[in-house]
C-alpha cells in the first residue's frame, strides 16, 4: 500500500512538473540566426584550418550597406554578438600573418574597399566595446559586385589545399579575403 501511495504521489509530481515545463514560454527564433563556416581544405573529413561563428542579418527589403551598416565605420561583421574566428593554425591573410587562436572580427565596409579586422577582445556584443588597441591585424581588400542579390549576410570559404578565399557576400556586394596556411 505504501508503495502504491508513493507511486501515485511521484506520478502527480511528474505530471505537475511536465505541465510547468510546457507552460514556459520559449524565446522566439532570432531574426538573425547564428551560423558557422569552416575552412576544411580537403573536405568535410579533413582537419579545419579556420572556423567562423557569426550572426546572419537579413536584408528584408532594406538598404544595408551604406545605410543600416554605415560606410567608413567599424561594424561587428554580422549581427548580434561580434563574429569570432578560431584559427587552428597560423595563417596569412592578405599580407598579415595571424597566429593560431580565437579572435573577434570586425569590418569597416566602404563602396570600393573593406578593412577586415582581427581583434583579441572576445565575447562582445556588436561593436560597442570595440577596442582598436586590441587589433591583431587589419587587411584591406577590394569590394566587388555579387552575381545575384544576397538576402542573408554570408561568410564562406572557397579553396583547397594551402590557399583559400574567405568570401563575404550581402546585398549586391562580394568581398574576397585571401587566406594561406
Per-residue pLDDT of 73-109, as tens digits, reads: 999 999 999 999 999 999 999 899 999 999 999 999 9
Domain that holds residue 34: 29-180
Does residue 21 fall inside a structural domain?
A: no
Q: How high does pLDDT run on average in the chain?
A: 90
Does the pLDDT at position 12 exceed 70? no
Does residue 17 fall inside a structural domain?
A: no
According to DSSP, the β-strands at 101-108 and 96-98 are: unpaired
- Of residues 95, 112, 111, 93, the one with CA closest to residue 103: 93
* Percent with pLDDT over 70 in the chain: 87
Question: Is the distance from CB of 86 to CB of 69 less than 8 angstroms?
Answer: no
Retrieve residue 98's grid coordinates: 595571424
Does residue 137 fall inside a structural domain?
A: yes
Q: What is the pLDDT of residue 6?
A: 59
Does residue 47 fall inside a structural domain?
A: yes
- By CB neighbour count within 10 A (0-12 exposed, 13-18 middle, 19+ buried), where does 15 fall? exposed
Cα 107 to its chain centre, rounded Å, is 12
Does residue 23 fall inside a structural domain?
A: no
Amino acid at each position: 500500500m505504501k508503495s502504491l501511495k508513493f507511486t501515485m504521489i511521484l506520478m502527480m509530481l511528474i505530471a505537475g512538473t511536465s505541465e510547468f515545463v510546457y507552460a514556459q514560454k520559449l524565446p522566439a527564433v532570432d531574426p538573425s540566426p547564428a551560423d558557422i563556416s569552416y575552412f576544411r581544405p580537403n573536405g568535410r573529413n579533413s582537419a579545419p584550418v579556420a572556423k567562423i561563428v557569426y550572426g546572419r542579418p537579413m536584408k528584408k527589403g532594406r538598404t544595408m550597406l551604406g545605410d543600416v551598416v554605415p560606410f567608413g565605420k567599424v561594424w561587428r561583421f554580422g549581427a548580434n554578438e561580434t563574429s569570432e574566428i578560431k584559427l587552428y593554425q597560423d595563417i596569412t591573410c592578405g599580407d598579415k600573418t595571424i597566429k593560431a587562436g580565437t579572435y573577434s572580427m570586425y569590418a569597416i565596409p566602404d563602396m570600393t574597399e573593406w578593412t577586415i579586422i582581427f581583434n583579441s577582445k572576445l565575447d562582445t556584443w556588436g561593436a560597442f566595446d570595440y577596442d582598436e588597441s586590441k587589433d591583431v591585424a587589419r587587411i584591406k581588400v577590394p569590394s566587388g559586385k555579387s552575381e545575384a542579390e544576397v538576402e542573408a549576410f554570408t561568410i564562406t570559404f572557397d579553396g583547397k589545399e594551402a590557399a583559400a578565399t574567405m568570401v563575404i557576400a550581402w546585398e549586391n556586394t562580394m568581398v574576397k579575403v585571401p587566406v594561406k596556411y
